[in-house]
Amino acid sequence: MQSSAVPELAHTHARPIHWVATATAVAGVVALSSVLQPGHATAAAPGAPHTKSAPAQALPPDPADVEFPLDCGPVKLVVKKRASGDLDGDGRPETVAAVHCDAPMGTPPDGVYVITQAADAKPRLVATLVDPKDRSNVEDFAVRGGDVVATLLGYSSGDVPRCCPDVRETVKWRWENGAFVRSAPADARSV
């Protein structure tokens, strides 16, 4: 092995005091950045006349804060899917949740519920879109343009095994005159 012709420089070896100084500097930067924050962003162009500020965007209700009308016995209730959007046009988002009992065997039916939350109030259920008694399963759903759109799987008769749904239906619900109205395209049902 050949020795270096350049003498070792003192600053190339970090000593504990260097690490302490670095850690102190980083902690100072983090503390200072939590105090100094940039101003809030606005959609108005600079120099545009100020208008009344819009209220802060409300968060959609959390399904974990609601008691669903399902008796799951010794197993827990599972929120399978959720989607949020303003369904009734009041400016506050609602949450649509597909839930079922976490059965160890079989395919438990889903319930689809709409949850709302007024300002400074607890979330509450306001509608049942799919009742678990209908023995349907939700394959997929979304909130699009104020509509709840879902693909439901079901059974054509009691003779069809619960593992193998043989009916697929695309449905949508829209808030009209104080209630959710269900509709489906004519060609959306298949067996």
pTM equals 0.67
Q: Are 80 and 99 in contact (CB under 8 A)?
A: yes
CA angle 54, 57, 58 (to 5 degrees): 130
Q: Is the pLDDT of residue 12 over 70?
A: no
Report pLDDT digits (tens) over 172-181: 999 999 899 9
Report pLDDT digits (tens) over 33-63: 666 655 554 444 444 444 444 455 788 999 9
User: What was the pLDDT predicted at 62?
Assistant: 94
Q: Is 53 exposed, middle or buried (0-12, 13-18, 19+ CB in 10 A)?
A: exposed
Identify the three-state secondary structure at position 35. Answer: helix
Largest CA distance in the chain: 89
SS3 of 60-92: CCCHHHCCCCCCCCCCCEEEEEEEEECCCCCCC
User: What was the pLDDT predicted at 3?
Assistant: 56
Which of 3-7, 75-79, 101-105 has the lowest average pLDDT?
3-7
Give 2's pLDDT tier (boundaries 50, 70, 90). Answer: low
Output the CA–CA distances (angstroms, integers) from residue 82 to 67, 94, 105, 114, in the order listed. Answer: 15, 10, 23, 10
Q: Are 97 and 111 in contact (CB under 8 A)?
A: no
Q: Is the pLDDT of residue 65 over 80?
A: yes
Q: Is the pLDDT of residue 135 over 70?
A: yes
The mean per-residue pLDDT over the stretch 9-22 comes to 66
The mean per-residue pLDDT over the stretch 78-96 comes to 94
